[in-house]
Amino acid sequence: MTIQFKPHVITANALVEGDVIYLTDTDGWTRALSEAEVLTDEAHAQLRLLEAQARSGEAVGVYLAQVALRDGAPEPVHFREDFRRTGPSNYPHGKQAEAL
């Protein structure tokens, strides 16, 4: 029995700032999960992952993160990814301060 590939995005941390970033379909990096390229084909996802990992001057810790599509927008499936996208937890700054 074949396991069906679930939707994923490519995520990493920005090399200089350390912010969580996501790869877009135009090969840019974004800090908004809603702008990330959603990958639904496993072979294509692995190719995009290799391409993103080769950009070591821009990002570190590049990996695939599973998402669910809700109203056409990607949402984290795992707590870790939801926690990462909201920013640091020690005190409001960065993305958390902007939301206040």
pLDDT of residue 86: 76
DSSP one-letter string for the chain: -PPPPPPEEEEEEETTT--EEEE-TTS-EES-GGGSPPB--HHHHHHHHHHHHT-TTTEEEEEEEEEEEETTEEEESSHHHHHHHH--SSSS-THHHHH-
For residue 21, what are the β-bridge partners?
A: 12
pLDDT of residue 94: 57
pLDDT of residue 51: 97
Show me where the domains of the chain are located: 8-99
Mean pLDDT in order along the chain per 10 residues (100 residues): 90 92 97 96 98 96 97 93 75 58
- Tokens representing 9 are 């995005």
